[in-house]
Amino acid sequence: MKILLQMIASLALLLSVPAQAIVGGGAPSTEGVEETLDSLDGLIFSGGSDLDPGLYGQEAHAETRDVVRGRDDAELALLRAALERDLPVLAICRGSQVLNVALGGDLVQHLPDVVGDATHKQTPGVFADHEVELESGTRLGGLLGERAVTQGWATRQELEQIAEALIAWGEAPDAFYARPVFTALGWA
Q: How far is CA 24 from CA 3, 20, 138, in A?
A: 35, 6, 37
The predicted-structure confidence for 85-99, as pLDDT tens digits, reads as follows: 999 888 888 888 999
Give this prediction's pTM. Answer: 0.74
The domain that contains 36 carries what CATH number?
3.40.50.880
pLDDT of residue 119: 60
Between 181 and 107, name the one with better pLDDT: 107
Task: For the chain, give the secondary structure using H, E and C.
Answer: CHHHHHHHHHHHHHCCCCHHHHHCCCCCCCCCHHHHHHCCCCEEECCCCCCCHHHHCCCCCCCCCCCCHHHHHHHHHHHHHHHHCCCCEEECCHHHHHHHHHCCCCEECCHHHHHCCCCCCCECCECEEEEEEECCCCHHHHHHCCCEEEEEECCCCEECCCCCCEEECEECCCCCECCEEEHHHCCC
The predicted-structure confidence for 110-163, as pLDDT tens digits, reads as follows: 877 777 666 655 566 666 676 777 777 777 777 777 766 666 666 677 888 888
For residue 146, give its domain range: 2-185
Residue 102 — pLDDT band, cuts 50, 70, 90? very high
What is the total count of domains within the chain?
Answer: 1
pLDDT of residue 31: 84
- The whole-angstrom separation of Cα 111 and Cα 53 is 14
